[in-house]
A and B are shown apart, each in its own frame.
Chain A
Amino acid sequence: MVATKNKSLQQFDTDDPDRIQDLGWTFKEVWRRTRGLVVTTLNLITFFILWEVFTIYGDINPLFLPKASDMFAELWVGLTTRAPEGAVFSGSILDHFLHSFNNLMFGLAIACLIGIPGGLLMGGNKYIEAILSPYVWALASLPRIALVPLFILFLGFTTTMQVTIIVISAVFPIMINAWAGVKTTEKSLLAAARVFGANRRQLYVKVVLPYTLPFIISGIQQGIGRGLIGVVIAELFGGSNGLGFLIQRSADTFNTAMTFAVLLLLIVMSLSLINFTRWLEAYVAPWRNVNHL
């Protein structure tokens, strides 16, 4: 110990053995990192097995609760077949999934294109903020579902209407988060950049933007949740396409296995997207929560 202390101002070698140690991979460490996944998988398998047993021996009307195996079969068939050319309605889950997913992505992209610059501008310029903020808060606090009949009136039962509802649903969390990010940029970081010569543009590009980036990502994460609600609502209300429509139609035709299959797909889609943004947030801003990585 004393010997290391005496090094004080001398240089350490970059490959000084004291500094960084190679820990290697032990079985225990691999287990520590994967046990969450393993436990969840076992948990889910047990859940679906219990479901199956319950529906077989429980004398349950399959109209209310289909067998888990029927649901998975419906999901598999639905995802591996497409509607034949010229069909009026598609019974293929894949077709509807692609429709909804594309709409969601398209709507989220537009929401980002509006929300990110909008939020940054509101955070950066107090006049724009003063003028826009009442409208942003008004629209953000309005339950978006209330606007659906209006959009159907304006745009009819079209894909444009569906995308518009997704945009309206997703844009505000993104905008408000970006805005908050700019507003809460740490004063001391701005002060340091200014002392070392940053001009206004550099302050925004080199300090405010990187600081705001994780805020924007968590805005997008919230936007995905809201956008998904928008997708389903828009399709439930009107249209002949998408997972929302399929839920409605399969329920109307007493195909409960299909309904459950679509619900399961929605859950998987939503969780995948949200976990992806979580990972992204931890990746671009590891200083905010080191435990994530």
Chain B
Amino acid sequence: MNNKNPIIVANDLTIAYELHRERKKLVALQDISLEVAPGEFVVLVGPSGCGKTSFINAISGLVPKASGSVTVRGQEVTGPGPDRAMVFQDYALLPWRTVESNVRMPFEFQDLGISDDEKARRVKECLSLVDLTGFEKSFPYELSGGMKQRVGIARALITHPDILLADEPFAAIDAMTREAMQAEMERIVMETGQTCVFITHSIDEAILLGDRVVVISYRPGKVKEIVNVNFPRPRMSNSEVKTSKEYAQLRDHIWNLVKDEASQTNRGE
């Protein structure tokens, strides 16, 4: 691993959506520049509608950029690639497939040179990781929102991707399971050296998981501030982290940054 060369580089990235009815463009993100080192855990926070999803969609290659650039390992992103997996905010599970078949989906589309036994083993492993063992044969419409979200997480982890793009992956999950999943997430990232770009609305989650927390401003979305988090890992199992003075200060600081922005969303335009 070479920590000097960032794996993801966004350079003056601007993303705009055309509003068809009005013949106007909505600038969702403006001049975002960010470098993510290999193995780094970057968390994006910001008010709803500020462009977080748009940003990771640009990294995954789902959304075209209006200007600027995004590169992954020096290559300009023009479309999705097998090195980047994603957990979707709206789950995006195929409704006609069982849980197991949804989780297995990436194997159908990517030839990773993995044996069938290994594939079956990974499906089992990932489902047990998200506590869905026993629901292999269920269909998404038979699951709760949080369970669907966990299927989405299992699907993203199954290929052991270099880069994990996670869009509020724990938003619909109850507090207990969420804490356990955060710990799993931290363990996976520590063990595999996976790079992760993670979106959340929970400031605690951002501080506990992130090496850096990027606060994005509202309309147009810009990088408002990047906050470094230097607690040693593992943090989830270390009760001293949450009770420390630095933690409280960081929390306050990020809270105020987000609050400023969030209040803008209510101001009307």
The answer to whether the Cβ of A236 comes within 8 Å of any Cβ in the partner chain is no
Surface stretch bound by B, among A6-14, A99-107, A241-249: A6-14
Surface stretch bound by B, among A169-177, A202-210, A270-278: A202-210
The answer to whether the Cβ of B131 comes within 8 Å of any Cβ in the partner chain is yes
Cβ–Cβ contact A8 & B177, under 8 A: yes
Q: Considering the chains assembled together, what is the distance between the CA atoms of A43 and B118 in angstroms? A: 60
- Give the Cβ gap from A4 to chain B, nearest Cβ, in Å: 11
The answer to whether the Cβ of B266 comes within 8 Å of any Cβ in the partner chain is no
- Give the Cβ gap from A213 to chain B, nearest Cβ, in Å: 8
Cβ–Cβ contact B140 & A196, under 8 A: no
Cβ–Cβ contact B84 & A195, under 8 A: yes
Cβ–Cβ contact B133 & A193, under 8 A: no
Interface residue from A8, A9, A191, A196 paired with B105 (Cβ < 8 Å): A196
Cβ–Cβ contact A191 & B92, under 8 A: yes
- Residues of chain A lying within 8 A (CB to CB) of residue B84: 195
Q: Considering the chains assembled together, what is the distance between the CA atoms of A209 and B88 in angstroms? A: 22
Q: Considering the chains assembled together, what is the distance between the CA atoms of A211 and B92 in angstroms? A: 13
Residue of B nearest to A192 (CB): B92
- Residues of chain A lying within 8 A (CB to CB) of residue B96: 210-211, 284-285, 287
Contacts A194-B80, A202-B109, A286-B139; is A210 near B134 (CB within 8 Å)? no
Interface residue from A11, A188, A189 paired with B131 (Cβ < 8 Å): A11
Q: Considering the chains assembled together, what is the distance between the CA atoms of A196 and B86 in angstroms? A: 8
The answer to whether the Cβ of B260 comes within 8 Å of any Cβ in the partner chain is no
The 10 closest A-B pairs by CB, nearest first: A197-B109, A192-B92, A196-B106, A287-B95, A197-B110, A287-B141, A188-B92, A9-B180, A198-B109, A11-B133
A residues at B contact (CB < 8 Å): 5, 8-14, 16, 19, 186, 188-189, 191-199, 202, 206-207, 210-211, 284-287, 290
**Can you list 27 pairs linking A and B with CB atoms under 8 Å apart?**
A8-B180, A9-B177, A9-B180, A10-B131, A11-B131, A11-B134, A12-B133, A13-B134, A16-B134, A19-B134, A186-B92, A188-B88, A189-B94, A191-B88, A192-B86, A192-B93, A194-B62, A197-B82, A199-B109, A202-B108, A207-B94, A210-B96, A285-B95, A286-B139, A286-B141, A287-B139, A287-B141
B residues at A contact (CB < 8 Å): 57, 60-62, 79-80, 82, 84-86, 88, 90, 92-96, 105-106, 108-110, 128, 131, 133-134, 139-141, 155, 159, 176-177, 180-181, 184
